[in-house]
Structure 1
Amino acid sequence: MGVSVREAMGIGGLTRCKVVAGEKGLEKIINHITVMEVPDVIRWLKGNELLLTSLYPIKEDEEAISRLVEQLHEVGSSALAVKTHRYVDEIPQAILEAGNRFDFPIIEIDNEVSYLDIMSPLIELMLRKSNPGEEQKESFFQWITELAMGGKGIPALISAVQQMTGNILTVGSEIPTLEGYFQGRNVARLTRAQKNELKSAKRTIRMQRTLDGQMTPCIVTPLLLNDELCGEVTCWQTKREFLESDFHVLDRTVPLMAMEFLKVMTKSDVEQNYKDDFLSEVLLGQVQENAEMIMKGNHFGWDLSKNYQVFTIACGERPHLSKSGDNESLRYQERKRILMRRVAEIFRLSTHNVIITEQKELIAVLYPREDGSGKEGLLYLNDPQKGAIINVANSVRRHLSKEFDDLSITIGIGRFYPGLKGIHRSYSESCKAIRLGGPITEESGLIHYEDLGIYRILSQMEDWNELEGLYSETIGKLVEYDWTNNSNLVATLKEYFANNCALAETAEKLFVHANTMKYRLQKIEQLTGCSVHDSEKRLMLHVGLKIHQILQ
């Protein structure tokens, strides 16, 4: 059921507008509300419309202006509302005369009244008076589209859908920078299984979820961007049972919700880029004036006058799951962005003001340290909090590995140094821990720089020519021989040392005969001049293998 023009003039924004012509047609019924955005809008009208316009599409066309009311009358429209003082100072006389001639109401829109001030309350009234039907749904979809395009945001969309469905609506968010809209209700978060179900369905599905402590029937629609779940829209069965049309309403509303999420995510990504660029100066040791950097950090809500310890997170696709192609590369980059958001979400409810940044292929976490003092950048000896920071990093890795089972997650932890220069040193060590700690992290996926052993010494050497020279004299010769002869002397030597030089045990591990092991060890000695039975020469081979790891 529609609304008469006379009734409409007493609703919402139209109460501040006035009828300036065609008063005899005030009983015409309005079933639709349309905005004139193009000159040939008449061809798309169905009848019984209230047409809103600033006359901008035809303001230079006198013939179109003079014929507008007649054309609207011919297609059965109900009224014309013109917004003045924007593109026209006053309603053209030709329109006023035609309005009186055809008893077609002409309404002058007050300068302070927006189209949405008129549309929203009128459509709401028509929805209340109508029975569910295709025309009602189309009016509703036009309404919510106008709400979204008008920048009214998610709360306005929620209110509109609630009026249409008669049930409570909530919107959950997987984006750390965007809070969910729960209207004061206690809504249980989606379980991992429910998230996977929504991602697979890609449409509205029935679920049972907890609302205010009670299991409640609901229909849930995934908010998907780039095939990743960034949130969900849930309609709860609190007042009436669901209709088939409710599924359609949610499916049509969710793209508009997703646009709002995309706005927030885009803004967040831009802000994060500024943050990353700023923090790279601190992490790379390019800080000139501490006071200036601390002041800049305050703009981002960071207190860089405090002390921080750094651990970095590296992610790589698991070899058996990786695929080639540009699409997969884009997918991997998107997964990394989502992983960055998940790290932020892990710390969102923490009382610690953790700083998170993406630096090239790594995610760096600056974890606040309340303890510690001393000269800036100097090592905090016998750190009593080493175990605590390892536990934090381990917890982060467990969370990420559970959700991103297609990625291999590795975390490197730098030692703690006070001050901004200390952040640089800690970050540098955390990167080295990831790069050099491969053999140590195979099982745990986590390495503290302090546990690198001899790698700590090798990584500090500035004369790489000496390292490369020692490598060439030892393991380099084995690598070259393996490549030329399709053999595996390097792997044999690694396994031999890993088994504390136990020949029989190593042979068993490598599934070869003991005599084969003896032959290989002899070949290693022949090529390198280093016998595994001589402690000094054996040390050369040990160091050569460590350098091999660094140079890989």
Structure 2
Amino acid sequence: MGVTVKDAMRIGGLAHCRVVAGEKGLHRTIDYTTVMEVPDVIRWLKGHDLLLTSLYPIKDDPVAIGCLVQQLHDVGSSALAVKTRRYVEQIPQIILDEGNRLNFPIIEIKDEVSYLDIMTPLMELSLNKSDVDKEQMEKFFQWITELAMGGKGIPALVEAVQQMAENMITLGSEIPSLESISWNRKVSPLTWAQKNELKIAKRSIRMERLLNQRSTPCIVTPLLLNDELYGDVTCWQTKREFVEQDFLVLDRTVPLMALEFLKVITRADVEQSYRDDFLSEVLLGNVKDPVEVMDKGRMFNWDLDKDYQVFAISCTDPSKPLGKPDHEALRAQERKRKLLLKVYDIFRFDAHQAIVTIRKELIVVLYPWDRIPGTDKTDARKPGVMELAASARRQLSQEFSELQFSVGIGRFYPGLTGLHEGYKEAVKAIQLGKPLSGETRCVHYEELGIFRILGQMKDWREMEKLYEETIGKLVEYDWGHNASLVVTLKEYFANNCSLADTAEKLFVHVNTMKYRLQKIEQLTDCSVHDAEQRLLLQMGLKIDLLLQSGL
């Protein structure tokens, strides 16, 4: 209906009634009129209701009478009209007191006024008003469509919706190149839980958010593209209470907003592709003219004169088997965009951003060395580097809980050529770090130990031969006899060749350990008590890990 309680008091039967409490709430709007015939009617109210009652369903329940006004207020009702001289002589004082406390209008219906005297005129008003509203809405949608088709842009669309809604409208964006529009108001960003709620609902929903540091009722409409949340349109209750029409205005406007977002995203994808191609050549060391490269970098607002720390980030989806093609190409592309946006956000500082690119399914980040706390050019393993990597991995895991992330960190090398060296090492840290740690984590190239040398070897024939002469024989024996000699050998070396400690770790008897070691020596012709032969076994285990990593 969209009529205020104050105006409704001049219509039909209500014109013969009087407000006896809560006069300060007469600005509330009435959309529905409902009669209370059963005690639990409140659960069926829609909000903005005028509730008519004789109190008969609860007349003998003092607790229900005492809670009635608070319950109506909590569900967003507009007023309570009580018919007296039928089942109650007068309106209970607790109802009057609660109405004054909550500024919730309490109306006394005289005995000679029927419910129909009140409901029928309000219904007629609603029907007449709906025709006017429908015509007004169609004119608005025609206007805003013309704005969108005429290329007026998002600010014009936002301003048009604000005029129609008669409340403040703000636009939130997940896209850095598209600044959020908040009309110079301080708006709290959506929380992770609120974003998730919007993605599930896929429609406008009511929320409470901070506006200028005050909790304010609002309607939030998600801007979704291929089921990914790219922004929101929020209508704030700053001038009048919400009505059902506000939801329709937002829901009809958002597709036009989404088209504008799609334009920005498409342009950003093309620009990202150019950046990726250019930076790939730099990371691969294909730099013939450093001056030309630095000049071209400035076209992307990159300062390649600076020194950078290189991070490589990999992500895997455990729900998809390795080698299985992703048939949801569009969704995968959307997720890649979201990943890039999140990485940009994590590594942003001051008014600038780190350089972010995609290279062979890895997200590569070049972070200015002088921005890392506690670092200098003499020590590449300062805690600040690892803390930054750990923080990035943690935030990505929280945002994309379905994915698993690893971060590889190269040693620091200054200058343009240093990017190539740092990138190679960061990739190696990713490739070798997973089989080494057995889990996803942050791995610095220096932590690879002997693998830094093994990973650089070009001729794999001798390494494979060494593997076949040692660990390969144990793997074959374990497979054919359902044994665990490889695991035993790994634990034996991990426990500094202590029989007792290894037996305890493997939950076996010491004599069993002795038998297994004898079997290992018999199969490999390498004694675990001879330093040189023990080294061959250890190298065989390292090569085994390299083979598992696919290098």
- Structure 2 match to 1:421: 417
Deviation string 1:419-459 (CA, Å, 9 cap, x unpaired) is 21110000000000111122554467011111211111112
- Structure 1 residue aligned with 2:543, among 520, 529, 547? 547
Partner of 1:502: 498
Q: State the Cα distance separating 1:348 from its structure 2 match.
A: 3.1
Question: What secondary structure sits across from 1:268 in the alignment?
Answer: helix
Using the TM superposition, give the Cα deviation of residue 486 of structure 1 relative to its aligned residue in structure 2, in angstroms: 4.2
Aligned residues: CA RMSD: 2.7
Asked whether 1:434 is paired with 2:430, we answer yes
Tell me, in whole angstroms, the C-alpha distance in 1 between the residues paired with 2:294 and 2:429.
28
Query: SS of the counterpart of 2:231?
Result: strand
Matches within 5 A, 1:137-536: 137-318=137-318, 326-327=326-327, 331-350=331-350, 353-370=353-370, 382-383=378-379, 386-442=382-438, 445-536=441-532
Which residues of 2 match residues 118-133 of structure 1 at below 5 A?
133=133
Which amino acid letter does the alignment assign opposite residue 355 of structure 1? I
The answer to whether the Cα contact below 8 Å between 2:166 and 2:240 also exists between their aligned partners in 1 is yes
Q: Which residue of 1 aligns with 2:67?
A: none
Counterpart Cα distance in 2 of 1:333 and 1:509: 46
Mark the CA change 1:349 to 1:151 in structure 2 (over 3 Å): closer, same or farther: farther
1:35-54 equivalence runs, <5 A? none
- How much does 1:335 deviate? 2.5
* 1:353 and 1:368 in contact (8 A); partners too: no
- The alignment partner of 2:424 has SS state of helix
SS, match of residue 133 in structure 1: helix
Change (3 A) 1:132 1:519: farther
What CA distance in whole angstroms lies between the structure 1 residues aligned with 2:195 and 2:215? Answer: 17
Q: d(CA) in 2 for partners of 1:496 and 1:245?
A: 73
Distance 1:526 1:188, change over 3 A: same
The TM-score normalised by the length of structure 2 is 0.71
TM-aligned CA deviation for residue 512 of structure 1 = 4.4
| Distance in structure 1 (CA, Å) of the matches to 2:321 and 2:212 | 41
Report the Cα distance in structure 2 between the residues aligned to 1:381 and 1:212, rounded to whole angstroms: 44
Deviation at 1:482, TM superposition (A): 3.3
Q: 5+ unaligned residues in a row in structure 2: which ranges? A: 1-128
**8 A contact 2:381–2:411 mirrored in 1:** no
Conservation of the 8 A alpha-carbon contact between 1:321 and 1:406: no
Q: Distance in 1 between matches of 2:314 and 2:491?
A: 27
Structure 1 residue 264 displacement after superposition = 0.7
Q: What's the TM-score, normalizing by structure 1? A: 0.70
CA deviations on 1:518-547 (whole Å, 9 max, x unpaired) are: 333333222222222322222111111111
Call closer, same or farther: CA 1:330–1:535 in 2, change over 3 Å: farther
Q: Gaps spanning 5+ residues in structure 1: where?
A: 1-128, 373-379
* Separation (CA, whole Å) in 2 of partners of 1:266 and 1:401: 26
Indicate how the Cα distance of structure 1 residues 320 and 361 shifts in structure 2: closer, same or farther if over 3 A, else same: closer
| Pairs aligned (count) | 417
C-alpha separation in 2, matches of 1:195 and 1:155: 23
C-alpha distance 154-349 of structure 1, shift in aligned 2 (>3 A): farther
Q: CA deviation at 1:481?
A: 3.1
Would the alpha carbon gap of residues 496 and 134 (structure 1) be closer, same or farther in structure 2, given more than 3 Å must change? farther
Question: Cα gap change, 1:535/1:420 in structure 2, threshold over 3 Å: closer, same or farther?
Answer: same
1:141-199 deviation digits (Å, cap 9, x = unpaired) = 22222211211111111111111111110010112222111111100011111111111
- Greater mean alpha carbon deviation, residues 272-281 or residues 516-525: 516-525
- Kindly tell me: are residues 444 and 458 of structure 1, through their superposed partners in 2, closer, same or farther at Cα, counting changes over 3 Å? same
| Matched residue type, 1:143 | W
Give % identity: 64
Which has the higher mean CA deviation after the structures are superposed, 455-464 or 494-503?
Answer: 494-503
Indicate conservation of the 8 Å contact 2:312/2:427, yes or no.
Answer: yes
Q: Structure 1 residue 331: deviation in Å?
A: 4.0
Cα deviation code 1:11-65 (max 9, x no counterpart)? xxxxxxxxxxxxxxxxxxxxxxxxxxxxxxxxxxxxxxxxxxxxxxxxxxxxxxx
How far apart, CA to CA, are the structure 1 residues paired with 2:178 and 2:322? 31
Q: Is the 8 A contact 1:436 1:550 kept in 2?
A: yes
SS in 1 for 2:341: helix
Distance across 1 between alignment mates of 2:473 and 2:248: 69
Taking a change above 3 Å as real, the CA distance of residues 349 and 419 of structure 1, as seen in their structure-2 partners, is: closer
Letter in 2 for 1:208: E
- Rounded Cα–Cα distance in structure 2 between residues aligned with 1:229 and 1:333: 14
The residue aligned with 1:49 is none
Preserved CA contact (<8 Å) 1:352 1:368: no
Q: CA deviation at 1:321?
A: 10
